[in-house]
Amino acid sequence: MRERKQPKENRPMDLGVQIRMVFVPVAHVLSIDYICKVVLRILWHCVHLVVSIWYFVLRMVQMLQSHIISSGLLVKYKSLDLSNLHYLAVVVDSEEAQHTSRILKLLSWLASIGVKHVSLYDMDGVLKESKGIIFEKLGCKRTWEEVDEKISLLEGKPMKLEFVSSCDGKEGAAKAASFLFSKYLKAANSHGNQEGLIITEPDMTNALKAVGCGGPEPDILLIYGPVRCHLGFPAWRLRYTEFVHMGPLKSMSYGSVIKAIHKFTKVHQNYGS
């Protein structure tokens, strides 16, 4: 008789084999994930390097162009038609506004170009606090709100200055709203009828002038600072204003100012009815 084969007993799997079966797939997945992260990081650095090189070359070109304009080699920048440039505003970051010498140099450039009206703005009112020093250095003592005639400064170049800060923005709107409220409340009480009282844009403009927060609308706004915005300059005075970001105040140049104003004079503006 044949002997029946006894079934083999299930031997326990070796512990090392179990560990390899578990960790080899996991390690494989982790290695793929790591490689993908490394590749993406390399691609990111490559893109960042290309963009950095592009902006560096662009800055070099702009600096070279500014130097050429300042030297007077380009004929088209020698004579500027400023007939459409009535008011110019300069917005400066409050930290950079503390460098009064740079502000004075910028004003001297604008005066030599032939700009007649300039508004100086920073959020914290640093330029307002330096108003006395600026007037002393420029040889004048009053702003255009205090005189109707032109004041003479910078080698006889006529220019009017205005100093604006953030308190002329939000607080000015609040004062104008309070003025209109009190005005129309008196009118309603006197007539006994509150219907038909409509506040129009000219009413708001007159209210802003009444509370001392009105002012002309700049044709062009030169922004010196790290951000590309008006930094809180009164919005109701910027309806048709051209914004130009000029970069940091420390890197300002005469050629860049000439270029910005020249570009504005060549732009055709369409105003709505």
Q: Which of 248, 243, 238, 195 is nearest to 218 (CA)?
A: 238
pTM for the full predicted model = 0.68
Please report the pLDDT score of residue 167 as a whole number: 76
CATH number of 75-169+213-265: 3.40.1180.10
Mean pLDDT for the stretch of residues 180-189: 69
Cβ 234 vs Cβ 211: under 8 Å: no
Nearby residues of 157 by Cβ (< 8 Å), 6 or more positions away = 111, 112, 114
φ/ψ of residue 75, rounded to 5: -65, -40
> Does the pLDDT at position 249 exceed 80?
yes
pLDDT in tens, 17-72: 555 555 555 555 557 777 888 888 889 999 999 999 988 888 888 788 778 877 77
- Mean pLDDT of the residues in the chain: 76
Where is average pLDDT lowest: 5-9, 235-239, 248-252? 5-9
Higher pLDDT, 178 or 273: 178
Q: Is the pLDDT of residue 190 over 50?
A: yes
Give me the mean pLDDT over the 105-118 stretch. 90
pLDDT for residue 269: 66
Three-class DSSP labels, the chain: CCCCCCCCCCCCCCHHHHHHHHHHHHHHHHHHHHHHHHHHHHHHHHHHHHHHHHHHHHHHHHHHHHHHHHHCCCHHHCCCCCCCCCCEEEEECCCHHHCHHHHHHHHHHHHHHCCCEEEEECCCCHHHHCHHHHHHHHCCCCCCCCCCCCCEECCCEECEEEEECHHHCHHHHHHHHHHHHHHHHHHHHHHCCCCCCCCCHHHHHHHHHHCCCCCCCCCEEEEECCCCCCCCCCHHHCCCCEEEEEECHHHCCHHHHHHHHHHHHCCCCCCCC
pLDDT recorded at residue 67 = 80
214 CB contacts (<8 Å, ≥6 apart)? 205, 208
Residue 75 burial (C-beta neighbours within 10 Å; 0-12, 13-18, 19+):
exposed
Residue 116 scores a pLDDT above 80: yes
Asked if the model's pLDDT at residue 147 lies above 50, the reply is no
- Give the domain ranges of the chain: 16-73, 75-169+213-265
Residues 6+ apart with CB under 8 A from 105: 252
185-201 average pLDDT score: 63
Give the range among 35-49, 177-191, 210-224 with minimum mean pLDDT: 177-191
Position 91 pLDDT exceeds 80: yes
More confident residue, 175 or 149: 175
- Mean pLDDT is highest, among 1-10, 101-110, 194-203, for 101-110
Could you give the angle at the alpha carbon of 113 between the alpha carbons of 134 and 242, nearest 5°?
A: 90
The end-to-end CA distance of the chain, in Å, is 117
Q: Parallel, antiparallel, or unpaired: how do β-strands 157-158 and 152-153 relate?
A: antiparallel
Which of the pair, 193 or 121, is modelled with greater confidence? 121
What's the CA gap between 203 and 171, in Å, rounded? Answer: 17
CB 143 within 8 A of CB 162: yes
Residue 273 has pLDDT above 90, yes or no: no
Q: Whole-angstrom Cα distance, residue 220 to residue 238?
A: 9
| Confidence class for position 270, pLDDT limits 50, 70, 90 | low
Q: Which two tokens stand for residue 239?
A: 């309806």
Q: What is the mean pLDDT of residues 133-154?
A: 56
- Band (159; pLDDT cuts 50, 70, 90): confident
User: Which carries the bigger pLDDT value, residue 187 or residue 119?
Assistant: 119
What the block records as the tokens of 77 is 């920048």
What pLDDT score does 266 carry?
A: 81
